[in-house]
Amino acid sequence: MAEHELAFLATNDLCAITRGRAMPLARLDPEIGCGWVPANLGVGAFGTIVEGSPFDATGDLRLVPDRRSATRIDGIPGRPPLTVMLADITQTDGGEWECCPRTFLRRAVRELEEEAGLRVFGAFEHEFMLAGDAPAEPPMSLQAMLRTEPLGTELVGILAGAGLQPENWLAEYGVHQCEITVAAADALTAADRAVLLRDIVRNLAHARGQQATFAPLLDPEAVGNGVHVHFSLRDTADQPVTFDAGRPGRLSAVAGSFAAGIVRHARALLAFTAASEVSYLRLAPHRWSATHAFLGRHNREAMLRLCPTVEIGGRDPADQLNLEFRAGDATGNPWLVMGLLIRAGLEGLRAKLEPPALVDGPIEAMPAKELRRAGILRLPATLAEALAALEEDKTVTGWFSPELLQVYRALKQDELRRLEGLDDAAKCLRYAGVY
């Protein structure tokens, strides 16, 4: 460790922006962390404290780091090593703060295990763009991947060195679009990795004289960037319980009820998982994204997709079967996204919901009568509609403290006001610079 190496104590806020404070690593006391203030939760995506936040100039909090989250980021050209420690926002006596996003996830994890004896095992799959004017390469080609070098090889090495366990790196379908995946882990670790990965990618690209953006869209007519959450269920002995060879789709009864809870509350969830106005330009027909709340078998236009298993050479499908939530992007806080999926799934278990019907074909090809008969609802088409759906779903709003909901509404209303009068292209540009 260098004499003046820094540690950054970090939270990820309601706009999915990582904020915090740095201090000399040698002087860090993890028991007490550093000071923080409630008003910081009211800083909007465009950089100002928003009107309507319940938090003013009064009050004090602490950022108390989780020692298990300590991640040393090294190898970025021209940048010194940095240890990032993800923190819970606590009261000054160490008590939980009701508005802490990471605490929201930790509580959901605890409730799922205490009530159902289950744990979520998952990973976030990220897409992003390397902004620039270079000619487009053939999508998903070796040529396109090589043109990103040395960034790709460096990124994989940095993520591996930081313990994030990178798995796949590829040039995606869009112009200068990339995808990076990491190994699955417990729910809290998976969300922590998502927080860290985004800033590592942006920092490395910046060091290379490029701009990496995870914004949902850079242009209304372009391919969009999603964040897909893969997850499965395990029992407290760490045994997989998602697979059942004798049931439709080989989805177990417990996993089916969990999925049904997510489908039931999907319209409200989108207010947090697709948290920007331009998110809904991406969640449109024929974009390989989600427009309706349903469970699809291997269907990349499903909100919730039942993923394939690989059984080459006798590999066991029971340890592979997972669900993929596809109606999200990087404007959503990973801790809240994962916590919401767990809480919605737990509601499905409590109500003993029947598994959703599996839809194999394109949803747009289904007649409206058939959609209604199957109970398949259209997802919100705008952020305002998603916020209204959130207000209507008293189960989902009941998971949050009133103050968190108040500041979240204020943040999103501020975003919408700042976008008034802009066309879709200008809106995309505003978000591209933030994310």
Domain ranges of the chain: 6-92, 104-394
Q: How confident is the model at residue 364 (pLDDT cuts 50, 70, 90)?
A: confident
CA-atom Rg of the chain in angstroms: 21
Q: Is the pTM of this model over 0.85?
A: yes
275-308, pLDDT tens digit by residue?
999 999 999 888 888 999 999 987 888 999 999 9
pLDDT (tens digit per residue) in 393-431: 999 999 999 999 999 999 999 999 999 999 999 999 999
pLDDT over 70 at 357, yes or no: yes
CATH architecture of the domain covering 6-92:
Roll (3.10)
Is the model's pLDDT at 132 over the cut of 90? no
Query: What is the structure's pLDDT at 380?
Result: 96
Q: Is the peptide bond before 150 cis (omega within 30 degrees of 0)?
A: yes
pLDDT tens digits, 180-228: 999 999 999 999 999 999 999 999 999 999 999 999 999 999 999 999 9
Q: Assign domain 104-394 to its CATH superfamily.
A: Glutamine synthetase/guanido kinase, catalytic domain (3.30.590.10)
Residues 219-277: pLDDT tens digits?
999 999 999 999 999 999 999 999 999 999 999 999 999 999 999 999 999 999 999 99
Res 300: pLDDT: 83
Q: Check residues 363 and 61 and name the one with the higher pLDDT.
A: 61
Q: How confident is the model at residue 323 (pLDDT cuts 50, 70, 90)?
A: very high
At 149 the pLDDT is 93
Of the pLDDT bands very low, low, confident and very high (cuts 50, 70, 90), residue 375 is confident
Is pLDDT at 365 greater than 80 in this prediction? no
pLDDT averaged over every residue in the chain: 95
- Rounded to 5 degrees, what angle do the CA atoms 330, 72, 208 make? 60
Separation CA 161–CA 156 (nearest Å): 9
Does 1 score more than 60 pLDDT?
A: no
Residue pLDDT, tens place only, 100-122:
999 999 999 999 999 999 999 99
pLDDT > 80? residue 3:
no
Report the pLDDT value the prediction gives residue 388, as an integer from 0 to 100: 98
